[in-house]
Amino acid sequence: MKIELVTNTTSDVSVLFLTKDEIKKSKYKTTLEKANFEAAQDSICFLYEQDVLFVGIEEKNDDSLRTATTVAIQTLKSSNAKSASFNVAKNSIKPIVEGLILGGYEFNKYKSETKKPALKRIDLECRNIKTLMSDFEEAVIVAEATCFTRDIVNTIPEDIHPETLAKLAKNLAKENALECDILDEKALKKEKCLSMLAVGRASRHESQLIHLAYKPKKKAKKVVTLVGKGLTYDSGGLSLKPATSMVTMKMDKAGACAVLGIIKAISELKLDIEVHAFVGAVENMIGGDAYKPDDVLTTRSGQTVEVRNTDAEGRLVLCDVLDYAQEKIKADYIFDFATLTGACMVALGQYTTGVMGHSNALKHAFFDAANDSGELIGTLPFNRHLKKLLKSDIADTSNVSSKPYGGAITAGLFLDKFIKDENKDKWLHFDIAGSAYTEAPWDCNVYGATGAGVRLMSSFIKNLK
Ligand code: BES
Ligand code: ZN
Ligand code: ZN
């Protein structure tokens, strides 16, 4: 499907967004009233004879337009229209492009037959192409990077495991002129990433630490380090997940995939910001060689960890990757993305990314990025009482809390133990356990991966000075 900015459209169908109040002023008023169309958000009225598709919107804001465009594109794709047009202006181009690309997204890799939609072309009709071009191109880059992330997350664990994820990252580096360094198990041993290696030990695939770097042509205004949890499958390990909780755990690599999507977007936007993406790619499996509850692991930082639950494996991977990333790159910001805890969904619901860290100013900046990007975030507060719950009687720390409440925060506090003092205010942890994957459509998300983090972080990085 081709999306183009035009000043004069010749498309089969025109899509018109209407608020309740606008019905009365519409030239289609009588027909719309006959159809009992009340312009409720996301409701549609397709006037086939007139080649007009009406979609109701509550207000003319980004959220309304993005979901209404999602409904429109899905309706158009199931119709026989070959082309359609939308009116766009400076303040509506981004949500409309997002609705088209993200709401029209399909993942058909494993379907033997897919119906090809008749729809081939979308015209975005505007007064002046020049004034909209850069907003249009930017929205397309970020939305396509989000789909890139979705595709990898949706790919099954037989196809994406640590070694193939590393290969995929290498390809991305080649295509986008990124620097690429990959540590296999031999290199990881040399680097003393023994905690990360323990998690992957029962897998038939070698764990990989992936490092990609985007360095702008001009002097970088800021340096951003991104770290992603890349559990290509999380069976829970010997603390095995129940059957129903294990389904969907191919999505436990969503943090890694987000980080790859972000560096893809930033490199294509050609921003003057240096970005480093570090991914811990590991498969958490069972077997005679598996790491065990009761083991004590020595992390790269030297701190020891008592394993009390092998399903709390993400933090055991991230602690080594965070330590490595901080030693390698002196960054202005360090952000990690991880499908870290089911508890984050209990705390915030499944749509909202949990944000944790020490700097209130930095957390605050992300509320602007969330508003701008349309992603949802909520902050979860650290406190010293929860921190004490990670105490171990046998090692420096336990990998799980001794109490059942506040699990998203205690996981964040575990990671905090591996953030060096000089980096405390530069670091935020994003728990995307709920927001990264969905089994029911919402907003511009369809079944499967959402690409959470890509729009949010692209917006933040784009506004760095
Ligand atoms: N990958 C899971 C977290 C998760 C759960 C992500 C559901 C998405 C949906 C993580 O590795 C995990 O299993 N965490 C445990 C931690 C517990 C053992 C302390 C959890 O959330 O139950
Ligand atoms: Zn787990
Ligand atoms: Zn996990």
Q: What is the pLDDT of residue 435?
A: 98
Q: Mark whether 146 and 227 lie in a shared domain.
A: yes
pTM of full prediction above 0.95: yes
Measure the CA–CA gap between 398 and 342, rounded to whole angstroms. Answer: 18
Do 406 and 441 reside in the same domain of the chain? yes
DSSP 336-392: EEE---HHHHHHH-TT-EEEEES-HHHHHHHHHHHHHH---EEE----HHHHHTT--
**Predicted pLDDT at 453:** 99
In this structure, the residue with its CA closest to atom 18 of ligand 1 is 312
Question: For the chain, which ranges sit under pLDDT 50?
Answer: none
Q: Is residue 137 assigned to a domain?
A: no
134 in any annotated domain: no
Residue 65 resides in a domain: yes
> Which ligand ends up closest to the CA of 408?
1
Q: Which residues contact 190 (CB under 8 A, 6 or more apart)?
A: none
**Measured distance CA(231)–CA(362) in Å, rounded:** 27
Residue 136, in any domain of the structure: no
Indicate the residue among 81, 101, 127 that finishes a domain. Answer: 127
Domain boundary among 127, 158, 174: 127
Q: What pLDDT does residue 143 have?
A: 98
Task: Specify the number of domains making up the chain.
Answer: 2
Residues less than 5 Å from ion ligand 2, measured at CB: 234, 311, 313
Is residue 67 assigned to a domain? yes
Same domain, 75 and 170: no
Encode pLDDT of 391-429 as tens digits: 999 999 999 999 999 999 999 999 999 999 999 999 999
- Exposed (0-12), middle (13-18) or buried (19+): which is 52, by Cβ within 10 Å? middle
Q: Is 117 in the pocket of ligand 1 (CB under 6 A)?
A: no
**β-pairing verdict for 222-234 and 377-379:** unpaired
Residue 307, domain CATH:
3.40.630.10
- If asked whether residues 307 and 383 sit together in one domain, one would say yes
pLDDT in tens, 93-118: 999 999 999 999 999 999 999 989 99
- Kindly give the distance from the C-alpha atom of residue 312 to the centroid of ligand 1, in angstroms, as a whole number: 6
CB 60 within 8 A of CB 19: yes
Domain extent at residue 296: 142-462
Q: Is residue 72 in contact with ligand 1, taking CB distance under 6 Å?
A: no
Domain assignment of residue 135, yes or no = no
Would you say the CB of residue 206 lies under 6 angstroms from ligand 1? Answer: no
Are residue 151 and residue 74 in the same domain, yes or no? no
Check if 157 has its Cβ closer than 6 Å to any atom of ligand 1.
Answer: no
Task: Please report the sign of the dihedral spanned by the C-alpha atoms of residue 151, residue 152, residue 154, residue 158.
Answer: positive
User: What residues are paired with 121 via a beta bridge?
Assistant: 2, 83
- Known catalytic residues are 241, 315
| Pocket perturbation via mutation, ligand 1, pick of 247, 248, 341, 432 by most ligand atoms within 8 A of CB | 341
pLDDT at position 461 is: 98
Instruction: Please choose, from the candidates 49, 126, 47, 143, the residue with its C-alpha nearest in 3D space to the C-alpha of residue 92.
Output: 126
Q: Would you call 222 exposed, middle or buried from its count of C-beta atoms within 10 A (0-12, 13-18, 19+)?
A: middle
Q: Which ligand is nearest to the CA of 439?
A: 1
- Regarding whether 338 and 267 lie in a shared domain, the answer is yes
**How are beta strands 397-398 and 304-306 bridged, if at all?**
parallel
* Same domain assignment for residues 117 and 152: no
Domain boundary among 103, 127, 151: 127
Contacts of 129 (CB under 8 A, 6+ apart): 5, 6, 7
Q: In the structure encoding, which two tokens stand for residue 328, read together?
A: 């390698």
pLDDT for res 458: 98
Q: Which atom of ligand 1 is nearest to the CA of 410?
A: 19
Domain assignment present for residue 441? The answer is yes
Asked if 183 and 117 sit in the same domain, the reply is no
Mark whether 120 and 167 lie in a shared domain: no
Residue 432 lies in a domain: yes
Amino acid at 352: T
- The pLDDT assigned to 98 comes to 98
Question: Is there a contact between 327 and 252 (Cβ–Cβ < 8 Å)?
Answer: no
pLDDT of res. 186: 98
pLDDT, position 233: 99
Query: How far is ligand 1, taken at its centre, from the CA of residue 95, in Å?
Result: 32
